Amino acid sequence: MRLFSELIADQKQGSLAVEISGRVVVVTGAANGIGKALAERFAREGAAHVGVSDLDEAGAKAVAASIGANASGHRCDVSKEEDIRALVAATEMAAGKPVDIFVSNAGIADIDPDLSNAGSSPDPIWDRAWKVNVMSHVYAARAMIPGFKTRGEGWFVNVVSAAGLLTQVGSAVYSTTKHAALGFAESLAISHRDDGIRVSVICPQAVDTQMARAGNFAGADVDGILSPEQIADAAVEGVKAGKFMITPHEKVYEYFNNKAQAYDRWVGGMAKFRRSVWDALSKARSSLAAH
Ligand SMILES: NC(=O)c1ccc[n+]([C@@H]2O[C@H](COP(=O)([O-])OP(=O)(O)OC[C@H]3O[C@@H](n4cnc5c(N)ncnc54)[C@H](O)[C@@H]3O)[C@@H](O)[C@H]2O)c1
């Protein structure tokens, strides 16, 4: 019998590359921040059509209008499966052909209400983050997999976070749901590679958007803050190259390697890091409480 390690070594990366030009793309949470930059970048890459969607319908339509005739704007609450199905149908109607690339970007972040208790977020906060950060990816998979299988190709691009590989100090809800999102993406990639379906996950640290400015990511800027456009560039280049894991901040993969090699030591190091950002965390907590 062959060893598992031999089977893994058999994988060849060459055939995973993706041509974006002429593809129909959907992006969720695209009225602002990373999603907006992704929608614009996919359009510049020559996508045949970009379905720009957000909870904020006017914002989505404004981004689509600024992209031009090859984009349409739609309201979609990603926590609702029926909204995701309707988004796919509306984009396909506007594009006149099926969606090839589904970008699950919308996400939410909450800081722990009591920083001295990692379990302090109430159930409704956990439930909402579970739906938006995790189930939205499951709903997209359910909507897209049958068609992707029939056509023998299709791409999921899931915006996760470095918090899904490492951990965001001060936000147990965000860290846990982003780990779950990464777990689901692994299942998708492994289960459907033989169907011609490809998956990329984007795992940035701090990015200059409303989410980061709200103060939810104290300490995440330790390796610098990238712009949404830099994330979109890294994402598109990674997708085109057929990469599963895309880490726009170079240090993230190094930290992930350190974690894998010495997990206990890594937990100790993160606890030390938390002590060092405690003041920033507390300040973020009080500024949120003041609003
Ligand atoms: N900003 C960062 O530092 C950072 C770092 C790593 C990962 N991320 C991830 O990147 C993604 C985008 O974040 P961002 O920083 O651009 O945030 P953002 O808050 O600037 O934009 C998020 C967009 O998602 C929309 N949205 C929120 N809930 C939604 C819902 N239920 N359905 C549809 N749309 C919804 C909002 O209206 C908004 O337009 C998220 O998944 C986030 O977790 C962000």
Q: Give residue 14's pLDDT.
A: 46
Predicted local confidence at residue 63, as pLDDT? 98
- Cα(9) to centroid of ligand 1, in Å? 36
Q: b/e string for 217-229 if b means 16 or more Cβ within 10 A? A: bbbbbeeebbebb
pLDDT tens for the chain, 291 residues: list them. Answer: 566 566 555 555 445 778 899 999 999 999 999 999 999 999 999 999 999 999 999 999 999 999 999 999 999 999 999 999 999 999 999 999 999 999 999 999 988 999 899 999 999 999 999 999 999 999 999 999 999 999 999 999 999 999 999 999 999 999 999 999 999 999 999 999 999 999 999 999 999 999 988 876 777 788 899 999 999 999 999 999 999 999 999 999 999 999 999 999 999 999 999 998 887 777 777 766 555
Contact 70, 43 (CB under 8 A): yes
Please count the other Cβ atoms lying within 10 Å of the Cβ belonging to residue 265: 11
The domain defined by 20-289 carries CATH number 3.40.50.720: yes
Please work out whether the CB of residue 35 comes within 6 Å of at least one atom of ligand 1. Answer: yes
174 annotated active-site: yes
Query: Where are the domains positioned within the chain?
Result: 20-289
**Which member of 174, 253, 255, 263 is catalytic?**
174
Q: Which residues contact 238 (CB under 8 A, 6 or more apart)?
A: 200, 202, 246
In terms of pTM, does the model score above 0.75?
yes
Give residue 159 CA to ligand 1 midpoint distance, Å: 9
Q: 35, 29 in Cβ contact below 8 A?
A: yes
How far is Cα 145 from Cα 150, in angstroms, rounded to an integer? 9
Which is nearest to 201 in space by CA: 221, 216, 180? 180
Cα of 257 from ligand 1 centre, angstroms:
26
Q: Probe ligand 1: pick from 32, 174, 245, max atoms within 8 Å of CB?
A: 32
Distance of alpha carbon 195 from alpha carbon 125, whole angstroms = 36
pLDDT at residue 204, as a whole number: 97
189 lines ligand 1 (CB under 6 A): no
pLDDT digits (tens, 9 = 90+) for 94-150: 999 999 999 999 999 988 999 899 999 999 999 999 999 999 999 999 999 999 999
Residue 147 is which amino acid? G
The per-residue pLDDT for 221 is 84
C-beta of residue 193 within 8 angstroms of C-beta of residue 141 = no
* 19 DSSP 8-state letter: -
Contacts with 98 (C-beta within 8 Å, 6 or more apart), sequence order: 24, 92, 147, 151
